[in-house]
């Protein structure tokens, strides 16, 4: 990990999603929802993944704490998938020993987040 690579994770993965919520608050409907995305590396590290894991962990903490501050009944959740089966040929070498999950399972978690009643949750699909 280098300071430069760390900035990429902070600026894109972390700040990108947090700022999406902050800028979107005035545009989302009452009782609407935000669903952010992290990944398994925050719970199960991989070589070369420290910066991404840090950003994912920060997003999880943001979702949990922001949920109690959301106005107008707006909900916020986080989806944290394992490597997807459909992309395992390309990314599998970075995740040795990980069992890929089908994208259909991840899609169901997004549906649960958007259509369900919970807020401040991280839905893990590992």
Residues above pLDDT 90, as percent of the chain: 93
The rounded radius of gyration (Å) of the Cα atoms in the chain is 15
What pLDDT score was predicted for residue 2?
Answer: 82
Rounded mean pLDDT of 79-105?
A: 98
| Residue 33's pLDDT band (cuts 50, 70, 90) | very high
CATH of domain 3-125: 3.40.50.720
**pLDDT of 1:** 79
Tell me how far CA of residue 49 lies from CA of 2, 43, 45, 53, in angstroms.
Answer: 12, 11, 7, 6
pLDDT digits (tens, 9 = 90+) for 110-122: 999 999 999 999 9
Which helix (H) or strand (E) is 79 found in, with range? strand 75-81
| Residue extents of the structural domains in the chain | 3-125
C-beta of residue 80 within 8 angstroms of C-beta of residue 38: yes
């Amino acid at each position: 990990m280098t300071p430069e690579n760390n900035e990429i994770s902070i600026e894109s993965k972390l700040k990108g999603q947090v700022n999406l919520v902050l800028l979107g608050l005035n545009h989302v409907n009452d009782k609407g929802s935000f669903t952010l995305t992290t990944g398994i590396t925050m719970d199960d590290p991989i070589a070369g993944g420290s910066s991404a894991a840090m950003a994912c962990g920060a997003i999880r903490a943001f979702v949990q704490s922001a949920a109690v501050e959301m106005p107008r009944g707006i909900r916020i959740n986080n989806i944290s998938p394992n490597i997807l089966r459909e992309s395992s040929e390309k990314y599998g070498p970075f995740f040795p020993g990980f069992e890929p999950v089908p994208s259909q399972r991840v899609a169901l978690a997004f549906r649960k987040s958007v259509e369900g009643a919970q807020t401040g949750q991280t839905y893990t699909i590992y």
